[in-house]
Amino acid sequence: MFVGCYCNHSGHSSISFALPSRIGYCIPASILFRSFRLFRPHRKWNLYCSLKRAERYSSSDWSRCLLSLPKSVILSRIQSHLFWTSCVSFIVSLFDHFFKIPPFSPIPHTLLGSAMGLLLVFRTNSAYDRFWEARKLVGVLAVQSREMTRCIHSYFDEEKYQVIKNRLIMLLKLFLVGFLQHVQGTTDVASFRKIIRSNPEYSESSHTVDIFADEIVHSPNPPLFVLFQLSMQVKAVFKNADISYCVVQRAKMEWQLSSLMEVLSGCERIITTPVPLGYSRHTSRFLSLWCFTFPLLIVSHLKFLTVPVTAFVCWSLFGIEEIGHVIEDPFLEGVEKLPIKSMISSLLADIDYLSHLSVYEK
């Protein structure tokens, strides 16, 4: 039976069911019982069904992007390098004004320019591979967190398992918060206390809340500590005689815990394994020497215009290099980084939503 949703005149949503017919499940029950209402464009409906899309660049944004150049994060990170390159170009222009620098052959820079372009491309691609791998790991984290929440509510829906269910949900939320702080290198014990205190089992025991939260924060690996506690709780639950026959259910939850462990280990691998320093340093030295000697090629033709031309060329090249540095560690919070904080907040909201979702039974 398919389930659909529509809004009535009061703005509230209602549930409709698709009943079987000769050609399949295609006839909504709401139409059969004449309860279906068409949307009217003049009415204001409170619908929150669409997924909020991330900000994307559009061709029509070119003017805004150009005007926001002084506030660019990349420009602020390369301003020191750009300043000294511009100073060198000004000194070269000043020297040429008084002593006439002979023209230099552009062949060496032309030949090395191709190699430098390939080096920058490889550097940026290697950083983007790390960024995309991190995004896929966070995607797995989202899938397994939501799936584990569904399984907890499905397997322990009886009243006698209410305490166990609340405890498992609490530990899952603690893992997500601990994971966020672990990959960003931050510590916020208040976030752990808030989640623990939201569990009715610990709401009136502030001493227990403080002890548990402090134990998480002071552990060498907070998400690993919470994941171990979650695993022990799952093991204890399925040892119960009433549900000891649920081998498949336990195997599924153990697999979900293993997936969360793989996500944690994969993110730690990205954080603790930078792009080889020799590769990054050689790229930086190559680019710096190429840009410092670039004014010698054009000063005889452009005179003092060498300074803005050199600044523009170096801004383009230094910006490409810096983009690779920025996205190399995708978990640090920033404009150009992976929005891991908002993703974890969305997962926590989904868990709370599923925990308070009504169950419709026929």
Confidence of residue 174 (pLDDT cuts 50, 70, 90): very high
Tell me the C-alpha distance between 186 and 331, whole Å: 11
Tell me the C-alpha distance between 165 and 332, whole Å: 33
Pair (169, 104) in one structural domain: no
Pair (164, 141) in one structural domain: yes
Pair (241, 189) in one structural domain: yes
Model confidence at 3: pLDDT above 80:
no
Pair (208, 350) in one structural domain: yes
Confidence of residue 45 (pLDDT cuts 50, 70, 90): very low
Pair (82, 164) in one structural domain: no
pLDDT at residue 357, rounded to an integer: 77
Pair (143, 253) in one structural domain: yes
80, 91, 101, 173 from 94: Cα distances, Å: 21, 5, 10, 63
Give tens-digit pLDDT for 255-295: 999 999 999 999 999 999 988 888 889 999 999 999 999 99
Confidence of residue 218 (pLDDT cuts 50, 70, 90): very high
Residue 23 included in any domain? yes
Pair (200, 309) in one structural domain: no
Pair (256, 199) in one structural domain: yes
pLDDT at residue 7, rounded to an integer: 43
Least confident of 13-22, 163-172, 198-207, 334-343: 13-22
Residue 259 near residue 140, CB atoms below 8 Å: yes
Tell me the C-alpha distance between 93 and 101, whole Å: 9
Pair (140, 264) in one structural domain: yes
Give tens-digit pLDDT for 87-108: 999 999 999 988 888 888 889 8
**Alpha helix ranges (H) inside the chain:** 29-32, 62-67, 73-99, 107-155, 162-184, 189-197, 206-217, 222-238, 247-272, 277-293, 295-302, 306-328, 340-355
pLDDT at residue 359, rounded to an integer: 66
Pair (227, 331) in one structural domain: no
Residue 279 included in any domain? no
**Alpha helix ranges (H) inside 156-246:** 162-184, 189-197, 206-217, 222-238
Tell me the C-alpha distance between 349 and 145, whole Å: 12
Residue 243 included in any domain? yes
Instruction: Enter the tokens of residue 316.
Output: 């383009």
Q: What predicted TM-score, i.e. pTM, was given to this entire model?
A: 0.79
Pair (160, 237) in one structural domain: yes
Q: Strand 2-7 to strand 24-28: parallel, antiparallel, or no bridges (unpaired)? A: unpaired
Mean pLDDT, the chain, rounded, equals: 82
pLDDT at residue 100, rounded to an integer: 87
**Sequence letter at residue 34:** R
| Stretch 7-32: mean pLDDT | 40
Least confident of 6-10, 77-81, 306-310: 6-10
Residue 30 near residue 6, CB atoms below 8 Å: yes
| Stretch 322-347: mean pLDDT | 85
pLDDT at residue 17, rounded to an integer: 38
| Stretch 24-48: mean pLDDT | 39
Model confidence at 352: pLDDT above 80:
yes
| Stretch 11-39: mean pLDDT | 39
The angle, 0 to 180 degrees and rounded to 10, between the axes of the packed helices 340-355 and 162-184 is: 180
Give tens-digit pLDDT for 114-135: 889 898 998 899 999 999 999 9
pLDDT, greater one: 245 or 1: 245
Pair (150, 2) in one structural domain: no
Residue 209 near residue 197, CB atoms below 8 Å: yes
Owning domain of residue 113: 78-128+284-340
* Residue where the block lists tokens 């984290």: 141
Confidence of residue 201 (pLDDT cuts 50, 70, 90): confident
Model confidence at 251: pLDDT above 80:
yes
| Stretch 110-116: mean pLDDT | 89
Number of domains in the chain: 3
